[in-house]
Amino acid sequence: MGNTLVESQLTLAHETLRDICEKVSEFLNENTLTDLLSEDNQSDKDYFKAVLSSLRRVLVFCEEGKEASEVILNGKTFRKAAAEKTLYWIYHHCIEEFFNPRIDNWYEDSRSAYTGKNAIKFSKAVPNSLRELMKTIEGPFQTIREELEYYETDFHTKMIHSK
């Protein structure tokens, strides 16, 4: 892959992760477990704790990916190998953690591509504020997922063959 393509992918990933970090961070800073419990009458405290924990995990990965891409983009020379490794990391940590969280608090409905609806479904009922957050970040995650799908397998294969 050419330097300009990798650089444009890294720039897109950086900008997208920056926006996602802002939205998730704002949500987590503004909403407490108590807020979520009061917003939903049939609330499940343990489930909401787990959802907030998963969101924090997504945020940490996204912040790490954003910072790593920033270092490469702000360097004196563009390091293609480091950029590809970072894009691979972003795909396998940020994107995968969002669509397939370690704890199954939410999941991706694969049929949503055919219905035009949001792909993220929660395992249990959640407040509207949480549903709205997921709707606003799902689109950006989907965009970088499609752009970085190459790194799902090809980069890993390339690294194995180069050893």
User: What is the CA angle 79-13-88, rounded to 5?
Assistant: 60
Global pTM? 0.87
Greatest distance between any 2 Cα atoms in the chain: 56
Beta bridge pairs of residue 106: 122
Which residue range is the domain that position 76 belongs to? 3-162
* pLDDT tens readout for residues 90-100: 999 999 999 99
Query: Which CATH number characterizes residue 76's domain?
Result: 1.20.140
Q: What is the pLDDT of residues 114-143, one digit of tens each?
A: 566 788 999 898 889 999 999 999 999 999
* Number of neighbouring beta carbons within 10 Å of residue 84: 21
Domain total in the chain? 1
Q: Which two tokens stand for residue 133?
A: 């957050």
Note whether 146 and 52 are within 8 A (CB).
no
DSSP secondary-structure letter at 119?
A: S
Contact of 134 with 101, CB cutoff 8 Å = no
